[in-house]
C-alpha cells in the first residue's frame, strides 16, 4: 500500500522506487550476500540507480540495516508485550508469545532473517543483538514462572528450554516460504505442539 | 594432535602454523565476518603471514571453505549412517541420529556453524547445501517410518517435524560454548526430551 508521502518520495528519486521498495531490495540483497559483503555500489546496481540517487533515499547502508532491524525487533517485542499484558498464567502467556513470534517471523520474514544472521560487527548490530538478548531473558523469565506454576517441566533449565523453543521458532526463516504449502497459522500450532507435548503420541491431539 | 606431516608442513610455512591451525583461524574468521566478506588479505593479516606464505598452505579461500564443510558434513552423515546401520526401530534410529547430530555440532562447532550459515554463492557452497538437503530428506524418511510404527505422532507432517527437530539441534551453534556450563551429552538429552515428550510435564522423566 502506498501513501501520498511514498509517492512524493518516489517522484523525488527515480521513477518506480519509493523508500520502502529500496529498503526491501536492500534487505533481500543483505540476506543473499551478507550485510558486510554488500557494498552500496552493489545495491545501487541491483536497483539500477546511481549511488547518488540511492543516497537520496537513505543516508547510509547502516541506516537501511537499522530500519530493517527495528522492524523485526519491534514486531517481536510487541508480541511479547502483548503476551505479558494478558490476565493469564505464565504458561498461557508463553503460549501466546510463541504464537506471536511465529506470526512475526512469517509476516516480516526478510527483516527477521537479517536479524537472526547478524554477526555484531557494527554498533547498530551490537545494539540489535543486545535487544535480542533482552527479549530472550524476558521469555526465560516467563518459562521460569511457568515452571513454578507446575505447567512446564523443571528437569530442563529455563534458559535451555527457551533456546530450544526459539531454535524451532527461528528455524522457520530457513525454510518457510510465503508462497509455499505451509500455512503460517498451522505452523505456529505445530511449533506449540512439539514444544509443549513433543512428537511422541500421548493421546492428546488426534 | 599433530602428525609428522603436519610438523613438516609447519616447517615449510612460518613457524607456529601448520595446515590445521591455518584452517582453524580461517573458519573462525569466516564465522566472524562472513565467508563472502573475508578476503585472503584479511586472513593473512589475522595470521600475521604474507599472502604468499598463506598460499603455501592452501590453494585458495574456497579450498579452506571446502575442507571445513567436508569436516562438518562427513561428521553429520556418519552419525546418520551409524543410526541407520543399527538393528532397531525407526524411532530408536531417529533418537540415535538426534544424539549423534548434537554430538557432531558440539565437537565440530566452528565448521558446523559455517555450514549452517552458508548462502550458496559459489559452487562449493551449492554442493554443500545439496548434501545438507539430502541429509534432511533421509531424516524425514526416518520420521515417516517412525510415524508408520506409531511411535511418532502423525498429525504433524514428517518434513515439518524434521525441520523443527533440527531447528532445536542447529540452534546449539548459536549459544553453546565449549567452555560454558552446559554439558554436551546432557544437552542432547534435553533436545531429545523436548522433541519426543515436550515441555509440559507428563509424569515421564522426574
Q: Is residue A88's pLDDT more than 60?
A: yes
Alpha carbon of A108: minimum distance to chain B alpha carbons (Å):
19
Residue B4: pLDDT over 80 = no
Residues from chain B that touch A170, judged by Cβ atoms under 8 A, are: 167, 171
Homologous superfamily in CATH for domain A66-197: Tetracycline Repressor, domain 2 (1.10.357.10)
Distance CA A58, CA A25 (A): 13
Confidence of residue B205 (pLDDT cuts 50, 70, 90): very low
Q: Nearest Cβ partner of B171 from A33, A151, A170?
A: A170
Within the 164-203 window of chain B, which residues sit less than 8 Å (CB to CB) from chain A? 164-172, 174-175, 182, 187, 190-191, 193-202
Q: State the pLDDT confidence band at A203, using cuts at 50, 70 and 90.
A: low
User: What's chain A's average pLDDT?
Assistant: 90
The CATH code that applies to domain B4-58 is: 1.10.10.60
The architecture (CATH level 2) of B65-197 comes to: Orthogonal Bundle (1.10)
User: How far is A170 from B167, CA to CA, in rounded Å?
Assistant: 7
Grid coordinates of B136: 534432511
Whether A149 contacts chain B with CB within 8 A: no
Distance separating alpha carbons of residues A59 and A62, to the nearest angstrom = 8
Mean pLDDT of B99-108: 96
Radius of gyration of chain B (CA): 20
Residue A168 and residue A179 in contact, taking contact as beta carbons nearer than 8 Å: no
- Contact with chain B for residue A53, Cβ under 8 A: no
**What is the C-alpha to C-alpha distance for residues A21 and A83, in angstroms, rounded to an integer?**
32
Report the range of poorest mean pLDDT among A52-56, B81-85, B103-107, B191-195. A52-56
| Rg, chain A, Cα only | 20
Question: Which residues of A are less than 8 Å from B182 in CB distance?
Answer: 160
Which residues of B fall within a CB distance of 8 Å from A195? Answer: 194, 198-199
Q: Where are the domains of chain B?
A: 4-58, 65-197
Q: What is the ipTM of this complex?
A: 0.88
Amino acid at each position: 500500500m502506498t501513501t501520498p508521502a511514498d509517492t512524493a518520495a518516489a517522484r523525488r528519486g527515480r521513477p518506480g522506487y519509493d523508500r520502502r521498495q529500496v529498503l526491501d531490495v536492500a534487505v533481500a540483497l543483505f540476506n543473499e550476500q551478507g550485510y558486510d559483503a554488500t557494498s552500496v555500489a552493489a545495491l545501487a546496481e541491483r536497483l539500477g540507480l546511481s549511488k547518488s540517487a540511492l543516497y537520496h533515499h537513505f543516508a547510509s547502508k547502516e541506516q537501511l540495516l537499522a530500519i530493517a532491524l527495528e522492524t523485526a525487533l519491534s514486531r517481536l517485542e510487541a508480541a511479547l508485550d502483548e503476551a505479558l499484558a494478558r490476565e493469564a498464567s505464565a504458561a498461557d502467556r508463553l503460549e501466546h508469545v510463541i504464537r506471536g513470534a511465529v506470526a512475526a517471523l512469517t509476516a516480516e520474514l526478510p527483516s527477521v532473517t537479517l536479524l537472526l544472521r547478524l554477526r555484531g560487527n557494527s554498533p547498530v548490530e551490537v545494539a540489535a543483538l543486545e535487544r535480542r538478548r533482552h527479549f530472550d531473558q524476558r521469555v526465560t523469565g516467563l518459562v521460569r514462572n511457568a515452571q513454578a506454576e507446575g505447567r512446564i517441566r523443571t528437569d530442563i533449565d529455563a534458559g535451555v528450554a527457551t533456546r530450544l523453543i526459539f531454535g524451532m521458532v527461528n528455524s522457520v526463516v530457513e525454510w518457510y516460504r510465503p508462497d509455499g504449502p505451509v500455512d503460517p497459522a498451522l505452523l505456529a500450532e505445530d511449533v506449540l505442539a512439539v514444544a509443549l507435548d513433543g512428537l511422541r503420541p500421548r493421546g492428546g491431539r488426534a
